[in-house]
Chains A and B, each alone.
Chain A
Amino acid sequence: MRVTVDVKGEETHEIDLETVSAGSPNGGAGTGGSTPTYQELLAEIDLSPHEVSVLVDGRPVPEDQPVESDHVTVLRLIKGGSKPPIDRNR
């Protein structure tokens, strides 16, 4: 399946799922030979779930789920705040 990945405010990518390596250790639910996850799709365009949200039909989808849609929207997160971070893992 060919997936159109629309990174809002930037470019649109066409990615062939066959070329995405599924089942990487950080890829969540994916296991070797299965459908790549949204996280693995993001890795193809050098993005991580820490900096973006993935939406399908206007709704966020869990990044560790297998890619089921041929069109996804990627949004860079808009967040921050006045106080220094306390928990650096968040």
Chain B
Amino acid sequence: MTSSPPELVVPTAIRDRILERAREGQPEEICGIFGGEYDPAPDGRSRVRSQYPAENVAETPRTRYRIDPEAQLELFEELEDRGEEIVGFYHSHPRGPPRPSATDEAQATWPDRSYLIVSLEPLEVGSWRWRERGNEGRFERERLVLD
């Protein structure tokens, strides 16, 4: 156990914009990418500077999300051109759960990055880091700090 959990600092305006997108996008899931300062340490503090909305191209967007690789690369290049790092990602769960689902766990691929989830029912916003050790992975809850 670590005494100090990792943190994700998110400007309130960005949190509000994502919530707005999630509400506008329901019943489908929405998704996007966070740029800013990335700290992978066990007690690291990553800071979101920008959010980059992406189209959800999953075949069943009410219960799944997927970002198209070409669009993903374009967003990464835009983010890097602004001097930002890849901090993590966000997506919505229109009907919950307010935490990573089994699908989120099965499909997570970015070690130490933040995965922020906006649940609309119940209304809750939380963030987790994807931690990998060997062939196993798990989501670790992190503190969400509004700035």
Contact = CB atoms under 8 A, between A and B. Distances in A.
Interface of A: 8-9, 51-53, 55, 58-60, 73, 75-85, 88
A71 to B, nearest CB: 13
B31 A78 contact: yes
Contacts of B85: 9
Contact of A83 (B66, B73, B101): B101
Q: Is the interface of B mostly helix, strand, loop or mixed?
A: mixed
Interface of B: 29, 31, 33, 54, 58, 60, 63-67, 69-70, 72-74, 76, 85-86, 89, 91, 93-97, 100-104, 106-110, 113, 115
Which 3 A-B pairs give the minimum distances between C-beta atoms? A81-B64, A83-B63, A80-B104
A81 B76 contact: no
B101 A80 contact: yes
If over half of A's interface residues share one DSSP class (helix, strand or loop), that class is named, otherwise mixed; here it is loop
Given A52-B109, A55-B69, A58-B73, A81 B96 contact: no
Contact of A85 (B54, B69, B91, B103): B103
Nearest to B87: A9
A8 B35 CA distance: 13
Contact of B96 (A55, A78, A79, A82): A82
Contacts of B74: 58
Most buried by A among B54, B96, B100, B108: B108
A73 B73 contact: yes
Contacts of A75: 69, 72-73, 76
B97 to A, nearest CB: 7
A59 B72 CA distance: 11
A76 B137 CA distance: 15
Contacts of B76: 8-9, 75
Contacts of B69: 53, 55, 60, 75, 77
